[in-house]
Structure formats: structure tokens, C-alpha cells
């Protein structure tokens, strides 16, 4: 039997993930690079200078030009939560690495959060993934792994 290249794609191992994103500082640095790859840009006036300050343990940036205040999480799926970035990043890893859809209960145990928090995290992540892919229909050579179509009908032949 030939090896299916799709099934043997290189992924990010849990140990490699934890080396990259194991601390709050690592996650914050990665988030800043993803959010503002060319440095801070004010969402209101596009000015590139800001002052940082803390309010209730959260770091904010105030635009040096229009004085608009924003945070790293503002306008993202993480905006209204107080969970540490390490929990968010690990949730993203677990939800995206699971081939068979990780259960909220499993996520709760893996993250060490309440079931309600795990359920909300999972559904928020699934929603943003769906939004991200909504305007990118599949095209070209499409391969589906482990798809089950049809099957037996209960009570019918
Ligand atoms: Zn501004």
C-alpha cells in the first residue's frame, strides 16, 4: 500500500509547540508579530507611534497622534476574555490539531479551565475558522481523508 502524502504531512509536535508558545511572553510576542507585522499601526488614523500603559493588568496602547486607545486583543476573538494567551494558544493548537474534533470536555481537561470556558473557546475558534474560510472556496485537486458517505439505514434495506 502506498503512503499517502497527505496523511504524513509534517505538523507541529506538542513539545515543539510548548517550546515556541509555552510562556505568556512568547505568546504575546508571537501575537504582536502576527497582529502588527510592521510595528504598531493605529486602527483609527494609521499612525505608527503609541504609548503603552497598563489598566487592570491589561496592557494598552494609546496612539501618539489621535490618542485612540487599543489593546493587543481588541478586535480579535480574544477581546472580551481574560484567559491568558497561553490558554488561547494551546486551545488553538488542540482544536486545529484534532482530526476528529476535540470535545469541550477534553479541552477543559487539557487546558485546566471550566467546561463553560472550554466550550466557549472551542466555539469561538470554530466560528473564526469558518469566517476565515468562508470566502475561500476549495478549488483544484481536492482530496478528502476519512470521509464516510452513505452507509446503512436503520430499519431499511
Ligand atoms: Zn491614531
CA 35 centroid distance within chain: 13
Contacts of 22 (CB under 8 A, 6+ apart): 86
The three cell numbers locating residue 72 = 493587543
Return d(Cα 145, Cα 86) in angstroms, integer.
30
* CA distances (Å), origin 10, targets 5, 7, 112, 138: 10, 9, 28, 21
The three cell numbers locating residue 126 = 470554530
In the 8-state DSSP scheme, what is residue 143?
-
| Section 44-60 average pLDDT | 90
Ligand 1 midpoint to CA 47 (Å): 5
| Average pLDDT over all residues of the chain | 90
**Edge-to-edge strands, sheet with 58-63:** 50-55, 58-63, 69-71
Looking at the predicted structure, is the pLDDT value of residue 72 above 70? Answer: yes
Ligand 1 midpoint to CA 67 (Å): 6
- Could you tell me the residue range of the domain that residue 37 belongs to? 14-131
pLDDT at 28: 93
Q: Flag whether 4 is in a domain.
A: no
Q: Flag whether 70 is in a domain.
A: yes
Alpha helices in 59-139 (DSSP H): 85-97, 104-111, 115-134
Q: Flag whether 156 is in a domain.
A: no
Q: Flag whether 146 is in a domain.
A: no
Q: Flag whether 26 is in a domain.
A: yes
Q: Flag whether 109 is in a domain.
A: yes
Global pTM? 0.81
pLDDT at 11: 83
pLDDT at 157: 58
Q: Flag whether 5 is in a domain.
A: no
User: Cα-flanking dihedrals φ and ψ of residue 33, to 5°?
Assistant: -65, -35
Return d(Cα 28, Cα 35) in angstroms, integer.
10
Return d(Cα 87, Cα 91) in angstroms, integer.
6
Question: Which residues, chain by chain, have CB under 5 Å from ion ligand 1?
Answer: 42, 44-45, 47, 63, 65-66, 68
Q: How many domains does the chain have?
A: 1
pLDDT at 5: 73
Q: Flag whether 149 is in a domain.
A: no
Ligand 1 midpoint to CA 17 (Å): 35
Amino acid at each position: 500500500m502506498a503512503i499517502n502524502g497527505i496523511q504524513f504531512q509534517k505538523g507541529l509536535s506538542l513539545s515543539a509547540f510548548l517550546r515556541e508558545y509555552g510562556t505568556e511572553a512568547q505568546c504575546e510576542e508571537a501575537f504582536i508579530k502576527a497582529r502588527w507585522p510592521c510595528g504598531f499601526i493605529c486602527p483609527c488614523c494609521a499612525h505608527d507611534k503609541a504609548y503603552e500603559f497598563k489598566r487592570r493588568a491589561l496592557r494598552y496602547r494609546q496612539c501618539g497622534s489621535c490618542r485612540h486607545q487599543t489593546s493587543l486583543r481588541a478586535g480579535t476573538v480574544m477581546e472580551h476574555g481574560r484567559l491568558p494567551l497561553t490558554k488561547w494558544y494551546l486551545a488553538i493548537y488542540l482544536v486545529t490539531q484534532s482530526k476528529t474534533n476535540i470535545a469541550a470536555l477534553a479541552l477543559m481537561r487539557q487546558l485546566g479551565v471550566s467546561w463553560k470556558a472550554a466550550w466557549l473557546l472551542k466555539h469561538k475558534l470554530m466560528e473564526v475558522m469558518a469566517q476565515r474560510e468562508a470566502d475561500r472556496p476549495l478549488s483544484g485537486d481536492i482530496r478528502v481523508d476519512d470521509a464516510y458517505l452513505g452507509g446503512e439505514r436503520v430499519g431499511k434495506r
